[in-house]
Structure 1
Amino acid sequence: MSVDLGVRLLTLRCDALAEASTTTITDLVDYFEADLIYIIEEKLDMRIVSTVERTASCSVVYTRSSAVHTETVDGVTVSIVSSLDFIGGASTASGREIPEDVNYVICDEIQTSADSVTLDVSLDGLDHLARFQNRTDREVTFLTGAMEASYDFVWKADVDDESVRLPIRGLAPTRRQGAPELACISLDSGGRIAVSTTPADKFGLQSLSGVGKGTAPKLARNGYETRDDVAAATEQELREVQGIGESKAQSIRQSAHALSEGCVIRLTDETVPAAEYSPLFIDIETDGLNPSIIWLIGVYDPETDEYVDFIDTEPSRENPGKATREFVAWLASKYDRTSLIAWNGHNFDFKHLSRFIRGHAPEYADYWSNSVFEYDLFDWAVRKDNAILPGRTNRVEDVAEALGHGRDSAAAAVDGKSLAKTIQRLLVSPERARDLDWEAARAYCEADVRELAAVYESIAEATPGHKRASVPADENTTQTGLMDF
C-alpha cells in the first residue's frame, strides 16, 4: 500500500490489538508499509508495543519514550509530544523543543470537552496551541490520539489581537459495528491529510472469508498459521479442522487464494453488467452520505481513455445542482443511450443523481429514466455472490490496490470523508474555500473512476473456476473513496 506522499503514519491503540497474534501484527505492519508507527497513549500495553517494535522496520514511537520526538520523511516533519506544556512553551529544556520547520504535532492531551449544562464544546490546550501557532512561520496541523480519526475541525483563537487557525485531526481507531478500524494517515508538506481505515480483524487469518475469532486459532493449531498455508491446503485437508465443513472449506480456500495472489475469483458464469452498451464509469462527490449538494461528478470512458468532470468551485445551498445540470446536459448531448457503472451506485451515486436531476434538471428526467442504464458493480460482485475480491475490505480502493493499481501522490493527498467535511464548512463559510485544493479533489475523483474501471476489467476477464492474475504494478490507475463498504 505504499504511496509516495510525505509520511505514511500508522496509528495503533493497544486495545484494538489485544487478541492479535504475532503473525497477525506482522501482517498488519507489512500491509500498511508505514514510514512511522505511533502508539496512542491510552490503553498502552508494553507487551503489544514490544511486538510491534520487533516486527516493524520503521520507527515506532509512543509518548512515554520521549518528551519530544521528531521524525522527518520526504521533507515532512512530525513531532510527537508528551505534554501540552512542550507545545505552549512552558517547558523548553534542551532536547525538548519542537523544531521551527515542523509540519505536524502529535499530542494526546489535545481533546475536546463538553459542558454538561450549556453543551458548549471547548478544546483542551487551546491556549498552548494558539501560542505555538502564532510564533511559527507556517500553519501547523495538530494530531491527537484522544479523538477518532474521523475528527476533522479547524478551531480559531486570538493571540495578541491576531486570529490564528488551529487544524485538529484525530488519530484513534474509529468505532464501528464489529472490530475498530485502524487508521493509516498520509501527511504531505502542504498540510493535506488522507485517512485510510481498515478493520482490526482484517489481518492474519481473520482476513479470510468465514474465519472469525473461533476459527482462526483452530486453523493455527492445525498448522495453518498464514493465508499462504491455507491457500496451499486442499479443501479435504481444511475439512479436517473441527467446525469447518465442505462449504466453509471452499470459501476459506478461495478467499486465501484471492488475498495471497491478488486476484479475482469468479464464482458464477453470470454476465458482468453493462454488456449491452459501452460502459462509462462514474463517481460523485458530495457533502456527506445524505447530501445537500453534489459538487463534483467524474466520468471515465474506457473506449477513448477520456476523463471528464463537472465541478462546482463555488458550492452553495442556494444552487446545489450546478454540477448535476452540467453533467446531465453533457451526457444527453453526447450519448443517446449509455450504461453507467458505479460502486455501490444503487445506494449512493445513482440514488442521489436521480434525486438531483428530478429536482434541479427536470427537463432531463425522462432521458435519465429511459436512456441511461445503471449498473452497480459492488452489488453484482459482492451482494449477489458472483465473485470473490482480493481486498482486505470490499471498498473499491482496497480491491484495486490488491489488484496492483496503486494510487499516485496527487490522488492520495485527500480522502472522500475529508473532502465532504471541507465542503460542509464551505457551505457555512464560503471564505474558507482556501481549505480545499480543487485540483487535488479533481485528481482524486479521476482516480476513483479509473480504478473502478480497472476493477471492472479484472472481474470481466476472470472466468469461473480460474483466477485473474493481478496486473503489473506499472499499469497505473488510482482511487480512494468516501464510502465504506
Structure 2
Amino acid sequence: MAGDLGVRLLALRCDALVDATTTAIEDLVDYFDADLIYIVEEKLDMRIVSTVERTASCPVIYTRGSAVHTETVDGITVSIVRSLDFIGGASTASGQEIPNDVDYVICDEIQTSADSVSLDVSLDGLKHLARFQHRTDREATFLTGAMEASYDFVWKADVDDESIRLPVRGLAPTRRQGAPELACLSLDSGGRIALSTTPADKFGLRALSGVGKGTAPKLSRNGYETRDDVAAATERDLREVRGIGESKAQSIRQSAHALSEGCVIRLTDEAVPAADYSPLFIDIETDSLNPSIIWLIGVYDPETDEYVDFIDTEPSRDNPGKATREFVAWLASEYDRTSLIAWNGHNFDFKHLSRFIRGHAPEYADYWSDSVFEYDLFDWAVRKDNAILPGRTNRVEDVAEALGHGRDSAAAAVDGKSLAKTIQRLLVSPEGARDVDWDTARAYCEADVRELAAVYESIAEATPGHKRASVPADENTTQTGLMDF
C-alpha cells in the first residue's frame, strides 16, 4: 500500500480479464495490493468492473463517471479526466477542476498519431497538456490507457516562449507472447514511476505450473477452488481429475506448494552453480536490450556483506566503456580467480560485459576469459528444470519478494526499463540529466544483486525433492520469460 513504495496504481483493461474467474480476480486484487485501481476506458465491461469493485478495498475508478475525479493518497494527488478539453481548461458541467498541485493526470484521450505520408509522430492534445502544465504549480506526469505501459516519453512544447516538459507514460497491458501483462505503477511525489507487470493468466489456479485454460475449470469442478486446495491434495487425488496424469499431478502439486508456502521446490540433486567457489553476484544497467553503453555495474559479496558499484554519471556514446573499465580493473586487482553469478546472465549481463571488455578494456580480455567463471542462476533453475520458484513470474525481484525479500522504498522507486529510457534521453540531450537520480539508480542495482543472493541462498538450502517430467508444451506454466527492461 501507499507509503514506502509510493502510491500503487493498478491499471486494468477488461479484455485482458475476459477469461478470469471471480477467484482469479480476487487473487489479482490481493496480489497487487493497490491504493488505486484504474479501469481503462477501451473495452470497458461493466460485469468485470463490478467484480473488481466488489473485491477491492481501494477506490476503483473509470471515466464513465465524473468528468474529473481526483484522489489523494499519502499526499500524492491523481486526477482522472474524461476528456482532453477539460485538461485544456474547458469547464465541466459540475464545475469540477483538476487541482493546480496535481501530481498525475490520467486521460485515455492522450495518444500518439503518425502521419501516413511523412511518418512523423505527434501527440494528441499536446497544446492542451502544455497549457495545463504552464499554469499549474508543479510539473505533472500524464498517464494514458490508450498506450501500453511500456510507453515512456517526455514531449516538449513552447508556451509564451517557455519550453514546457510533458512526461507521458502508458497504462495499458503490455503485449507479449502469451497473455497480456497487467501494469502496476508505483508513483512518487517527484514524478518517478516504477513499473511492474504480471501476465493476466497468472492468478487463481492458472498461476500453477501446468494449469491452463483447459485444466483450471476441471480442477474447480472437482472441488479445487484455490491453490491451497491443490496443495492439500495428494497426487493420487489430482490424478482422479480427467486429463491429469502422474507427471502432471506431481507438477501441479509442487507448484501449488511453492506458491502457497513461498518456497523453492528443488527438483533434482544437481549442485547449485559455483558451489565450489565463493561467488559474487552481479547486475548491469544499460540503455537498452542491445546496449550502446553500460553505465552501472553492481557487485555484491555475501561473505563480507559488501556491495560495490561502478557508475558513469556522465554517460556518453563517445566513452561508453568507462564503468566497464573501472569494474574489470577492480575485479582483477581484488580476485585472482572468481565466480560471478547473474540472473539470465548468459543472455544479457555476461554477453554484453564480455563484448564491452573486448572493445573497451582489451588488456583484461585474457583475465576475463581464463580467470572469471560465469554462472547463470536463472538458466540453472528454470531452463534446466532444476527448481520450481514461487514468483508469479521468474523475474528475480518477483521471486525474491515471494521468498520474503522485498526491496526498500529507495530501490522500489524505479525499474530497469524506466532507467534505460532515462539514460537514452540523457545520451541524446544533456537536459535529460535532470531526470536521473543517481542515488536511486544505485539503490535499485544494489537491491537486484542482494535479492539475487537471497534467491541463490534459498535454492541452495532447499532439499532436493522428486524429479518430474516436463510439462506439456500446450499448457500454461509459471516459468515465464524475463522482461529485462
Query: Shorter-chain TM-score: which interval?
Result: over 0.9
- Give me the whole-angstrom Cα distance separating, in 2, the residues matched to 1:477 and 1:445: 28
- Give me the whole-angstrom Cα distance separating, in 2, the residues matched to 1:176 and 1:475: 17
Percent identity of equivalent pairs: 91
Answering whether residue 483 of structure 2 is matched by residue 483 of structure 1, we say yes
- Give me the whole-angstrom Cα distance separating, in 2, the residues matched to 1:73 and 1:469: 48
Structure 1 residues 474 and 262: CA distance shift in structure 2, 3 A: farther
Q: Secondary structure at the match of 1:64?
A: coil
Give 1:466 shift. 9.2
Structure 1 residues 215 and 467: CA distance shift in structure 2, 3 A: closer
Give 1:54 shift. 0.2
Contact 1:4–1:408 (Cα < 8 Å) also in 2: yes
Structure 1 residues 24 and 439: CA distance shift in structure 2, 3 A: same
Q: Secondary structure at the match of 1:297?
A: strand
Structure 1 residues 284 and 102: CA distance shift in structure 2, 3 A: same
Contact 1:404–1:472 (Cα < 8 Å) also in 2: no
Give 1:476 shift. 32
- Give me the whole-angstrom Cα distance separating, in 2, the residues matched to 1:314 and 1:477: 42
Give 1:414 shift. 0.4
- The answer for the alignment partner of 1:97 in structure 2 is 97
Contact 2:209–2:476 (Cα < 8 Å) also in 1: no
Give 1:360 shift. 0.3
Answering whether residue 151 of structure 2 is matched by residue 168 of structure 1, we say no
Contact 1:283–1:448 (Cα < 8 Å) also in 2: yes
Q: Deviations over 1:306-365 (max 9, x none)?
A: 000000011111100000000000000000111000000011000000000000000000
- Give me the whole-angstrom Cα distance separating, in 2, the residues matched to 1:241 and 1:227: 15
Comparing 154-163 and 21-30, the one that deviates more? 154-163
Structure 1 residues 468 and 247: CA distance shift in structure 2, 3 A: closer
Give 1:431 shift. 2.5
Give 1:6 shift. 2.2
Contact 2:107–2:145 (Cα < 8 Å) also in 1: yes
Give 1:91 shift. 1.6
Give 1:406 shift. 1.1
Comparing 459-468 and 385-394, the one that deviates more? 459-468
Give 1:483 shift. 3.5
Contact 1:403–1:471 (Cα < 8 Å) also in 2: no
Give 1:65 shift. 1.5
Structure 1 residues 482 and 417: CA distance shift in structure 2, 3 A: farther
- The answer for the alignment partner of 1:217 in structure 2 is 217
Structure 1 residues 3 and 345: CA distance shift in structure 2, 3 A: farther
TM normalised by structure 2 equals 0.96
Q: Secondary structure at the match of 1:65?
A: coil
- The answer for the alignment partner of 2:57 in structure 1 is 57
Structure 1 residues 420 and 432: CA distance shift in structure 2, 3 A: same
- Give me the whole-angstrom Cα distance separating, in 2, the residues matched to 1:227 and 1:221: 14
The 5-angstrom pairing of residues 182-331 of structure 1 reads 182-331=182-331
Q: What runs of 5+ residues in structure 1 fail to find an aligned partner?
A: none
Aligned length: 485
Contact 2:264–2:458 (Cα < 8 Å) also in 1: yes
Q: Secondary structure at the match of 1:218?
A: helix
- The answer for the alignment partner of 1:337 in structure 2 is 337
Structure 1 residues 149 and 128: CA distance shift in structure 2, 3 A: same
Q: Secondary structure at the match of 1:454?
A: helix
Q: Deviations over 1:258-282 (max 9, x none)?
A: 0000000111111111122200000
- Give me the whole-angstrom Cα distance separating, in 2, the residues matched to 1:93 and 1:473: 55
Q: What runs of 5+ residues in structure 2 fail to find an aligned partner?
A: none
Q: Deviations over 1:63-94 (max 9, x none)?
A: 01211111111111100111111111012555
Contact 1:14–1:45 (Cα < 8 Å) also in 2: yes
Contact 2:268–2:386 (Cα < 8 Å) also in 1: yes
TM normalised by structure 1 equals 0.96
Contact 1:324–1:361 (Cα < 8 Å) also in 2: yes
- The answer for the alignment partner of 2:23 in structure 1 is 23
Q: Secondary structure at the match of 1:410?
A: helix
Contact 1:416–1:481 (Cα < 8 Å) also in 2: no
Contact 1:406–1:478 (Cα < 8 Å) also in 2: no
Give 1:482 shift. 8.5
Contact 1:397–1:479 (Cα < 8 Å) also in 2: no
Contact 2:207–2:478 (Cα < 8 Å) also in 1: no
Q: Deviations over 1:431-469 (max 9, x none)?
A: 311111111000000000000000000000011129999
- Give me the whole-angstrom Cα distance separating, in 1, the residues matched to 2:93 and 2:359: 62
User: Alpha carbon RMSD of aligned pairs, Å?
Assistant: 4.8
Structure 1 residues 480 and 207: CA distance shift in structure 2, 3 A: closer
Structure 1 residues 46 and 477: CA distance shift in structure 2, 3 A: closer
Q: Deviations over 1:102-127 (max 9, x none)?
A: 10000000000111011011111111
Structure 1 residues 158 and 430: CA distance shift in structure 2, 3 A: same
Give 1:371 shift. 0.6
Q: Secondary structure at the match of 2:37?
A: strand
Contact 1:172–1:182 (Cα < 8 Å) also in 2: yes
- Give me the whole-angstrom Cα distance separating, in 2, the residues matched to 1:242 and 1:477: 19
- Give me the whole-angstrom Cα distance separating, in 2, the residues matched to 1:306 and 1:476: 39
Give 1:19 shift. 1.0
Give 1:475 shift. 36
- Give me the whole-angstrom Cα distance separating, in 2, the residues matched to 1:222 and 1:471: 21
